[in-house]
């Protein structure tokens, strides 16, 4: 009697891309403070067009897609995108 093969279910790992419009960022640091995975940091050696250090994603692989950063950003400078298999980091297929 044949034994049915075990089904292996792989849980798909969701990946996200944080897009920050540097010139809209006023350096308030709220997104950095609210990120539960510490994916964001303020630049220390770069300034935006306003002459202000801006937020950047320093650990994109750790982003869980919670959107806390985008929610607390008072200037709507942050957008979050889910990246699917076969897409590049810029969201293009």
pLDDT tens-place values along the chain, 93 residues long:
666 666 666 677 889 999 999 999 999 999 999 999 999 999 999 999 999 999 999 999 999 999 999 999 999 999 999 998 765 555 444
The reply to whether 5 falls in a domain is no
The reply to whether 91 falls in a domain is no
The reply to whether 88 falls in a domain is no
The reply to whether 23 falls in a domain is yes
The reply to whether 7 falls in a domain is no
- Nearest-angstrom CA–CA distance, 68 and 81: 13
First to last CA, the chain: 46
**Residue 92 confidence (pLDDT):** 45
**Residue 89 confidence (pLDDT):** 53
The reply to whether 42 falls in a domain is yes
The reply to whether 56 falls in a domain is yes
The reply to whether 4 falls in a domain is no
Tokens 């990120």, located at residue: 35
Alpha-carbon 34 to chain mean position: 13
Secondary structure class of 43 (helix, strand, coil):
coil
* Domain count along the chain: 1
Domain that holds residue 57: 15-83
**Residue 85 confidence (pLDDT):** 77
**Residue 12 confidence (pLDDT):** 73
> What are the angstrom distances between the C-alpha of 14 and each of 35, 36, 55, 61?
17, 16, 23, 10
pTM: 0.76
- Nearest-angstrom CA–CA distance, 33 and 86: 32
Q: What is the CATH number of the domain that holds 74?
A: 3.30.70.20
């Amino acid at each position: 009697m044949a034994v049915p093969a075990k089904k292996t279910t792989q849980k798909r790992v969701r990946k996200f891309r944080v897009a920050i419009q540097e010139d809209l960022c006023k350096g308030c640091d709220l997104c950095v403070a609210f990120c539960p995975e510490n994916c964001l940091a303020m630049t220390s050696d770069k300034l935006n067009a306003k002459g202000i250090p801006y937020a950047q994603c320093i650990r994109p692989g750790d982003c869980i897609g919670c959107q806390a950063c985008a929610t607390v950003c008072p200037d709507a400078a942050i957008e979050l995108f889910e990246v699917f298999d076969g897409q590049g980091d810029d969201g293009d297929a």
